[in-house]
Amino acid sequence: MKDLTSKLVQGNIKAFKKIHRFYYPRLNHYARNLVNNDQEAEDLVQDVFIQIWEQRHNLKQNQNLGAYLFTLVKNKSINILKHKIIEEKYILKQRTYLSEELYHISFELDQEFVSTGESLIREIKRIINHMPERCGETFALKWLEGKKNREIAEVMNISETMVDKHLAKGLKIAREKLSSKILFFLLATKIKH
């Protein structure tokens, strides 16, 4: 294979075809197992071979071509899977918004439509106004911006222990001011941070 790699670097089409014939079935099988879609796997592997041909001058002649090809397939598969996750989250968000809007149209025609997410954010901002300044800032960073305690500590230039204390105080105030349904929703959806 090293001989084929050096010929490939020189632009030898026969070497490229041999490499393609040898690796294509293995890479295709590997990609299918990763992305779980035959067509996407085929497209992905073809993209890898196009990339190899177009960037053949960057290959090192003593490089392990097989390992490099499998790495390219793995990375492209991961990118596809990440994109699918983003699409699924967007679709779920749109469905939730649409169902809330349909509910509003069906049952609450005389009121302005406000999604659950929007009303939750409004309510949190209202509650934050009742908190001491640093406590409110910590609470906003956690619940509105989704930052982790470590990140909040860095942004505010305080210890994580102080972040915990501010959040505990903020939750106490929120419990007093928020309805139990909204508080439960807030904790259930954001506790992952």
pLDDT mean for each 10 residues of the chain (193 residues) = 80 92 95 93 95 90 86 94 84 72 57 66 84 92 89 94 92 77 58 41
What burial class does residue 88 get, using C-beta atoms within 10 Å of its C-beta: 0-12 exposed, 13-18 middle, 19+ buried?
A: exposed
Domains of the chain, with CATH numbers?
Answer: 2-85 (1.10.1740.10), 116-190 (1.10.10)
Whole-model pTM: value is 0.50
Question: Which residues have C-beta within 8 Å of that of residue 147, sequence separation ≥ 6?
Answer: 141, 155, 193
